[in-house]
Amino acid sequence: MPISIRDDVVYIMLKRIDESDRGPGADPVKFTEGDFAGIELTPAQFLGHLDFLNQRQYINAEFSGNAYANQDDVPDLVNAERSGLRIANTYGAPDGPLPHLIEFKKAELTEKGREMLADMIANPPKALTEKKGETVPIPTEATPFLEKVKIKAELSDLYDARDLTEVVFRTMRDMMTNEAVDKVSEELHVPIEEGTDDKTLYTATPLATEVSDLWEDTNPIVHFLSRVRPPLKIKADTFLFRIRQEGGLSRAIPPEEVVAAVFSATKEELSQERIQEIAGFLPDEIRHIWETA
């Protein structure tokens, strides 16, 4: 059955691919439910949009992995042999909600795709700002740091985003040299959250008004200890365990999602030199999350 192509979904896909394609060559791209917050989208509809963009040469994409498993409706929309898109559908139904994780090997915008994205940025789809009188939360470059973390990790509020960000930062710092930590701090002088009237967001975390404050740690004892001990060797499973335990993360939210959300928001504030330097300190699985966030 043919599907209707939605301009808001096309916009989000093009923008996400463009964000992943900032370095030389085409980079891996991962879509999560957080990218389409407030939009009802089935796996078949998602894949149909991807196929539309690929077939019409708005993107160049190289898919990899399992060719749709038991999702019998998808090959009618997308050539399974050609694309081989991997889908980890935690709901197990072809017509269920958007899969928990959809990822493909490489993607980049064509010149035609960049022109379309530029037009859509100049004239955003109405569906992104009008949905039953409410604003659909779509993170953009202008979205404040903690709001991006909250949306991408599907957290309940900014307080959780703030606390989990600090735990992710703390675990990252524990593996880095003081010199590298200081270089990152110098680049993270951006507001934690702009335009909020809820001042308890700041007072509940003493002296934290910029992302660099969370990076350096608002707990003075933890901050001191991180400066005097040598960098630690932390395995990927230990890294994720710390996020869940120290952050009090709900069992319903995978720590990988939170890490990816914090990584994504952080990378937008850093130079390519800092991004590459940080990658060198991270264990393999966490480094992969960093590079694809």
Tell me whether residue 138 is in a domain: no
Is residue 241 in some structural domain?
yes
105 falls in which pLDDT band (50, 70, 90)? Answer: low
Residue 155 and residue 49 share a domain: no
Residue 33 and residue 166 in one domain: no
- Among the residue ranges 55-64, 108-117, 234-243, the one predicted with the least confidence is 55-64
- Per-residue pLDDT at 103 exceeds 60: no
- pLDDT band per the 50, 70, 90 thresholds, residue 180: very high
Residue type, 197: D
| CB contact at 8 A, 20 and 58 | no
Higher pLDDT, 141 or 26: 141
Of 128, 154, 172, which marks where a domain is finished? Answer: 128
CATH number at residue 71: 1.10.10
Q: Is the pLDDT of residue 63 over 50?
A: yes
Contact predicate 168/262, CB 8 Å: yes
Task: Provide the pLDDT for residue 27.
Answer: 56
Asked if pLDDT for residue 48 goes beyond 60, the answer is: yes
Q: Phi-psi bin for 96: left (phi > 0), alpha (psi -120 to 50), beta?
A: beta
**Would 186 be classed as within a structural domain?**
yes
Between the alpha carbon of residue 145 and those of residues 31, 72, 162, 261, the distances in Å are 19, 40, 9, 10
Asked if residue 2 is part of any domain, the answer here is no
Q: Are both 172 and 279 inside the same structural domain?
A: yes
Whether 260 is covered by a domain: the verdict is yes
**pLDDT at residue 29 in the model:** 72
Domain with 64 in it:
7-128
114 with 66, same domain: the answer is: yes
Are residues 161 and 267 located together in one domain of the fold?
yes
- Identify whether residues 121 and 150 lie together within a single domain: no
Q: Take residue 69 and report the two structure tokens written for it.
A: 């498993």
Query: For residue 139, what pLDDT is reported?
Result: 60
Q: Is residue 119 part of a domain?
A: yes
pLDDT of 156 > 60? The answer is yes
Query: Count of domains in the chain?
Result: 2
Q: Is the pLDDT of residue 71 over 80?
A: no
Q: What is the mean pLDDT of residues 268-273?
A: 93
pLDDT score, position 264: 92
Instruction: Answer whether residue 8 shows pLDDT above 50.
Output: yes
Average pLDDT of the chain? 75
Same-domain check for residues 39 and 66: yes
pLDDT of residue 241: 94
Q: With 80 as the cut, is the pLDDT of residue 289 above it?
A: yes
34 and 156 share a domain?
no
Picking from 128, 153, 172, the residue at the C-terminal end of a domain is 128
Same domain as 104, residue 176: no
